[in-house]
Every structure is written in structure tokens, then in C-alpha cells.
Amino acid sequence: MKWFKNFFSYQVFFVIFISFICFLLFGSILRHHYLGGKKFLEVQKVAIFFAELPSYVNKMIQSRSININKPPVLKKHSEKKNFNQILTNKREALLILPIYDHDLGKSLVKIIDLNNFETIHTYQHNVLEMWRQVTNIKEFPNLYIDDSPIRFEYRHPLLLKDGSLIADSDYTPIFKIDYCSNLIWINDEESFHHSKMLDHENNIWIPAKIYPHSKYVGNNQIKEFFDDAVIKINTDGKILFKKSVIEILIQNKIVPKNFAINSILSNSMDPIHLNDIEPVFFDGKFWKKGDIFLSTPSLNAIIHFRPETNKVINYITGPFTRQHDVDIISNKEISIFNNNNSITENEFSEILIYNFETKNFKKIFNNQLTKENFKTEFQGLSYMFKDGALMVEEQGHGRIILFDNEGNKEWEFVNKSKNGYIGFISWSRVIEDKIFIRNYKKIIENKKCIN
């Protein structure tokens, strides 16, 4: 028996020793992969598969499907109705509503008439056919996987006066489709993402992850480093202006020249995370027409930038963290959608107003947002109507709420499909321009689509 016990002990020791060596090799292969190593590619694939196996199982549970590519079913507001109108207040406005529909298993864009919350038009186009036109394969090697029809989203779609729509699927080429959802053009020069905003010249400002990197980043970072830039394109998809945010900050002596290479923030590979560009439409005491405001949540800062002179006019920090969406709401104020992912007192998201005259912040509709248990971790946005009403989007939970200017809830929308599953909302927007709305409704009356 003694020899058996010794043999068994040696066996256990041997298994533990071999397991330890395997874990070391496994860790080394993963480290080699994530540092961009090109050796042992087949072994890397096996290691990555086993490393990501738990996340695959979790995705199956979240999406309620064996298809791990399917977006998750959101759960927070599962007890709520799809649409709940509390107060009747007709509004001559359009809601541009990009959603994931779990019944259809894909994304689409609904145009909602806020007089009655009826869908007056829908956009959805052939995604695979569009991706076949991408020639910059080096920049977008995984479009058919990461942005396949079941995962594709219309991120912050921009509706133009001729009924066409401009969007991307977040870190993808940007594209334009017509009123009948036929592809007009696609631009795959850069990896476009987040907001799309028209300026006073009818051009579009949009963030992009650029590669090759800008001169201060250069070849000192691996390709996956996020060198975010402000880009202006025209409605034909031509790039008119491009500037790295890191470059802007270095040239304005806000961060040192080695920021992109050595800062603690750069360890996340995404030291800026530009998520909104807000153009200025009028001259005023605190800004000029043509200026832009940038939301940079990795820096917890709002940057007021003047492209004409390459100058940062204001670098605004304050009681907000991981903010998303900055809007100009008066001749001296901006609103900031604060995700509020701070270490303490972070239970609810907030809407902050910054006054350039007093240099003070204030919260608005805070009691209402608290009562509604309103919280986004990263995304989300707000829109203030001309009459002072406030619409907020809880992107990560598929909900939109509209409060009137006295703080009463007018209606609540939850992106719940007929099967009861809740899907995400990819940043809605409101149009209050009466002439635009009138002309768009004429397009609906006069144009018939065959697709």
C-alpha cells in the first residue's frame, strides 16, 4: 500500500506540475496575441477560443440564443409596456428612432411623428450587399462578423432634407442610403463612430478612429490604439477636414508630447474616446460660428475647439464622469449628459447645465431621473425641446422618457418587440424644424418604394 500511496502522490505532483507549465504557456500565448505577435497563429486561435469560452456561454444566456452574435436581450424594464402615454401633448416634431428589433433579428430606423407616436416611415437596407463594396479590407477585416446583419446597428442616424439617411454601425465605414433604403455611397477611409451632426454649412462632423496614426502617436502604438479624430465630411461622403484630438491637445499644450505613448490613460488603448461633436451655429459672447464642442469621456472633459485657428478655447471639467452628449441650449449654456460613473454617488445618470457666464454647473430634472431609476453606464443622451421639455435616452436599457417643461412625464417608450424581448436604442434624435417636417411628409405622400 505504501508504494501505491507514493506512486499516487507522484502522479498528483506530476499532474499539478504539468498543469502549472500549461498555464504558463497558455498565458504566454495570450500575452503574445494581445501584444500583436504574429508567431504561432494557429496555437493563438486555440488559446483564444478556450479563453473566451466562458464569455461565449454568457452571451448565449444573455441573447437567449445559441447564436452568440445576436445582441443581448435587455432586462431592466421587462415589466413595462412598449409605449405608455401619461399626458397628451401634441408636438410638431419627428423622432428619429434607431432600434434593434428582436422579432426581426436586425436593426432598423423608424421615423416617429410625435403628434401621435405613429411610425410614418422605416429605413432598413441590405447590409451584406453594402459590405461587399468595402475595399479597405486591411482597416475592416471583420465586417462580416462584427457587423453582420444580426449585429449591425444604425448608430445616431442623420436624416437629411431629401429623405436620405447617413449612419454607420460604430467603428465601421460611414454610408448614405436614400428614402427607399438604397445605398448611395460608402466611405471606408477611416473607422467612423458615435455622433453625426450637421453644421451651419450643411457639412457633417463625426468622430473617427484614424489609421495610420497622427504624427504624435505615429508608429509608437500598435494599430489597435484608438487615435480618435474630429472629421468633417460633406453630404457626398468626401472628407473635408481631419484632426487627431491627441494632436489638438498636444499642440495646445494641454497634455505633454509623450501623452499618447506614456500616459496612464493610454494603457486602456482608448485615452480619448471621442463620443460627440457639437457644432456652433451662431456667433456669441462665448463662442464663434464654426466652433465645435467635443465630449471626451476618457478625460472626463468637454473641449471647446476652434478648427479655424487650431485653438482650444475652453477645456471644461467638473462634476461629471464618463459623460456623453453635449448640446448648446442658449447663448451662454451647454447641457452635458453625465453618465455619472464616479466612485461615489453614482446610482443615477444626470443632466448638467454649464453656464459660461457664471462658470457654474447645475442639475436639471434630477428628482425625475432619480424617481425613474434612470441610469446609463456609458452611452445615453438628452435633448431639450424649444419649450423646455426634456427627452432622455437610457440607451443600454432600451428606454426613452419625455418630461414636459414642468417635469411631468408625458410618455415613456421601451424598445420591446412583440415577443417581449427588449433591444437597444442606437441614439435617437429629434427634429423640430417645421419646414423640414412639412417637406419630409410631402416626400412620404409622393414617393413610393418598391423594395
One-character DSSP codes across 84-127: EE-S------EEEEEEEETTTTEEEEEEEETTTTEEEEEE---H
pLDDT in tens, 328-385: 999 999 999 999 988 877 899 999 999 999 999 999 999 999 999 999 988 899 999 9
Q: Is 5 helix (H, G, I), strand (E, B) or coil?
A: helix
User: Which are the contacts of 68, defined by CB distance < 8 A and separation ≥ 6?
Assistant: 56, 59, 60
pLDDT in tens, 369-391: 999 999 998 889 999 999 999 99
pLDDT in tens, 93-104: 999 999 999 999
Answer whether residue 26 shows pLDDT above 50.
Answer: yes
Q: What is the pLDDT of residue 224?
A: 79
pLDDT in tens, 406-447: 999 999 999 999 999 999 999 999 999 999 999 999 999 998
Q: Which residue has the higher pLDDT, 70 or 98?
A: 98
Q: What is the pLDDT of residue 59?
A: 41
**Buried b vs exposed e over 77-93: b needs ≥16 C-beta within 10 Å?**
beeeeeeeeeeeeebeb
Please state, in angstroms and rounded to a whole number, the distance separating the CA atoms of residues 392 and 72.
Answer: 22
pLDDT in tens, 227-268: 999 999 999 999 999 999 999 999 999 988 777 666 555 557
Q: What are phi and psi of 47, to 5 degrees?
A: -65, -40
Cα-Cα end-to-end distance for the chain: 80
198 with 165: CB under 8 angstroms?
A: no
Dihedral over Cα of 64, 66, 68, 69: its sign? negative
Please state, in angstroms and rounded to a whole number, the distance separating the CA atoms of residues 178 and 50.
Answer: 44
Instruction: Output the CA–CA distances (angstroms, integers) from residue 98 to 168, 178, 389, 430, in the order listed.
Output: 11, 16, 21, 12
- Residue 71 grid cell: 445582441
pLDDT band at 223 (very low <50, low <70, confident <90, very high): confident
Task: Report the pLDDT averaged over residues 59-63.
Answer: 42
393 with 380: CB under 8 angstroms?
A: yes
pLDDT in tens, 6-25: 545 556 566 666 766 766 66
Answer whether residue 45 shows pLDDT above 80.
Answer: no
109 with 96: CB under 8 angstroms?
A: yes
- Residue 421 grid cell: 424581448
296 with 272: CB under 8 angstroms?
A: yes
Task: Report the pLDDT averaged over residues 289-310.
Answer: 97
Q: Say if strands 172-177 and 390-394 run parallel, antiparallel, or are unpaired.
A: unpaired
Q: Say if strands 399-403 and 333-338 run parallel, antiparallel, or are unpaired.
A: unpaired
Please state, in angstroms and rounded to a whole number, the distance separating the CA atoms of residues 220 and 208.
Answer: 19
* Burial class of residue 442 in the structure, from the number of CB atoms within 10 Å of its CB (0-12 exposed, 13-18 middle, 19+ buried): exposed
Task: Report the pLDDT averaged over residues 27-37.
Answer: 56
Please state, in angstroms and rounded to a whole number, the distance separating the CA atoms of residues 307 and 97.
Answer: 31
Q: What is the mean pLDDT of the chain?
A: 88
Q: What are phi and psi of 61, to 5 degrees?
A: -65, -45
Q: What is the pLDDT of residue 222?
A: 73
